[in-house]
Structure 1
Amino acid sequence: MKICILTSGHDVFDNRIYFKEILSLKKIYSEIYMVAPGEKDFITEQGIIVKCFKKRKAWYDRFRPMKEMFDLAFNINADVYHAHEPDSFQVALKLKKRLNSKAIFDSHEYHPEAFAEHFPVGKTFVTKTIYLYEKIMCKKADYIISVNDILVDKFKRYNKNVALIPNYPNMESVSKEYSEKPTFIYVGGIREDRGILKILEAIELVDKDYKFVFVGAFETEEVKVKIESYLKKNLNDKDIVFTGKVPHLKVFSYLKKSDVGFVILQPNNWRYINSEPIKLFEYMISTTAIIASDFPMMRKIVEDAQCGVLVNPIDEKSIADAIISLGEKREKTKEMAFKGNEVVVKKYSWSIVEKTLLDAYSELEKNI
């Protein structure tokens, strides 16, 4: 069976798409292609054939990339097209009609809400319109994959073939090499709605010699300027490092030296309140304790594992108190980290949900 992965906005080596789903499928299926944004075609070390089209210039640049994606995917003539966004799924459905192939929609975001955020006026109307369009498309899917119960329950109203495949981490072996002083880390895109400024405001309140490492790219130049200005004005005396974007596997070289990881998502984004961030699990798998926003889904994980501290994400003092407490009681913090690691291995690792993905493909293969 020939498989083609479609993505309009993700990187070729996206953690979920490539290192989890594609490499799991590669264990069974030898012929796997990927159509994704990029500069030139290439073949990965694992033998995945990647066909590239030019990245879109802005969020509204949709039609040109979709046309280029369709042309590349059509020439591949795959048995299954596995799409990761609504627009790439439109392409998958068009290919299904032309080639009599199978179409999978892999929805790991709250897409209607996310798209509507681009419209300051008429957001509710846009959201409802996208929901309706999504419903029409999903009825035509041969299979739908999603990451949490909220999304799975939604899609089950439209389609009987829905699989829950959470974004659990791969089992990365991390041998801790703690720094001399307590080290706190943030991993991910550097943007305000993920609590970057709140973390910096909290650090300003911490009168301790701790180290703070931020691993990830600035979302925009505006955010970069704002943060650099804040650092220069308020945090000159603090041990703070911004690494910029680093390859996924290199992230663990920073995690192994860290005591605590931040997941301070902000409540002004509904999607964040109702999410299980992959960073939460990556901290746990790397034996790193957690300071997390006190949101229902994250609360359930953190409290169940006893692997960190929950805070009010808009209250810098709440975050500062957690930093000081975990830094002062370092041995107890390490105990939290080890508990998190034990729980993630038993309940939240990719190896647990990999079979669900392979079973879905096995069902499709029977009808090809």
Structure 2
Amino acid sequence: MWIVTAKFIDVNPNTVDVNNFPLPGEFAPDVPWSARRPQACYVGSVSAMRGIGELVQAAHLLKSPARITVAGSFSEPEHEAALRALPGWARLDRPGHLDRAGVAAVMEQAMVGLLTLHPQPNYCESLPVKLFEYMAAGIPVISSDVPLWRGIVQSSQCGVCVDPFDPAAIAAAIDYFVLNPQIAQRMGQNGRRAILEQYNWQTEAGKLLRFYRDLEARLATKGKRAAAARG
């Protein structure tokens, strides 16, 4: 049971979570692992709360040849200007905002996906789409050590969790996957398997359709009882 269901089930037992999990085919990992670059990627809106400052600092601390691709639009221009002055900025690649095909292409080339958002309440109680997109793309995940996310990452054996406020820990995790490609590939495969077996839109669509059918049946029964009471 996800947190959303837990919040509402006491109000109405007819509650179901329908999660925004990916279509596995959209992020099919077609690029051979041997052809991937020493690259970590972050895809999504870019802001201080989403950990961009720590990523720039981590980039400066990397000991491997890794670079960090940050694909997305900055929501805080002043913060971006300040980060550009830091030495780690030189190890960032900034393709800007991308369409869905562009996002998939970035993930196809990367060796690890980054999800080091600050543990704000609205993040801690949500299932971030990019976590499951990284998994669908067959790349391991470096995630903030948020209990809900940690449970998914650890149970799927698809990455590691770090303190999102610790640039050294983020850099060490990136170096670990870049310098150990076999481990990175295995964890990426684990994540992909979890998507195919559990965290996919087909599963969620089936859940939603079952909910509609159950609701329809309950309404029909209620209608029959009301008609019988009137008769």
TM bucket by the smaller chain?
0.7 to 0.9
Amino acid at match of 1:351: Q
> In the aligned structure 2, how far is the partner of 1:314 from the partner of 1:297?
18
Higher relative contact order structure (alpha carbons within 8 Å, sequence separation ≥ 6): 2
Q: Which residue of 2 aligns with 1:187?
A: 43
Task: Flag the 1:256–1:180 CA change in 2: closer, same or farther, 3 A.
Answer: closer
Amino acid at match of 1:159: N
Amino acid at match of 2:81: V
> In the aligned structure 2, how far is the partner of 1:358 from the partner of 1:351?
11
> Which of 250, 270, 283 is residue 102 of structure 2 equivalent to?
250
1:45-194 equivalent positions in 2, closer than 5 A: 149-172=2-25, 173-178=28-33, 179=35, 181-194=37-50
Q: Extract unaligned runs of 5+ from structure 1.
A: 1-147
Amino acid at match of 1:219: S
Q: Which residue of 1 aligns with 2:188?
A: 337
> In the aligned structure 2, how far is the partner of 1:208 from the partner of 1:247?
29
How far 1:236 moved relative to its partner? 5.7
Residue deviations 1:156-186, cap 9 Å, x none?
Answer: 2222321111222111223125555411000
How far 1:245 moved relative to its partner? 1.1
Q: How many residues align?
A: 216
Q: TM-score, normalised by structure 1?
A: 0.55
Amino acid at match of 1:223: H
Q: TM-score, normalised by structure 2?
A: 0.85
> Which of 155, 159, 173 is residue 308 of structure 1 equivalent to?
159
How far 1:228 moved relative to its partner? 2.7
> Which of 198, 206, 209 is residue 54 of structure 2 equivalent to?
198
Q: Is 1:280 equivalent to 2:137 in the alignment?
A: no
> Which of 145, 148, 161 is residue 294 of structure 1 equivalent to?
145
Specify which structure has the higher proportion of helix.
2
Amino acid at match of 2:118: Q
Residue deviations 1:192-215, cap 9 Å, x none?
Answer: 111111111111111332121111
How far 1:190 moved relative to its partner? 0.4
How high is the sequence identity, in percent, across the aligned residues? Answer: 28
> In the aligned structure 2, how far is the partner of 1:223 from the partner of 1:194?
12
Amino acid at match of 1:184: A
What CA RMSD, in Å, does the superposition of the two structures yield over aligned residues?
Answer: 2.1
Q: Extract unaligned runs of 5+ from structure 2.
A: 221-231
How far 1:308 moved relative to its partner? 0.9
Give 3-state SS (helix, strand or coil) of 2:212's partner.
helix
Q: Which residue of 1 aligns with 2:168?
A: 317
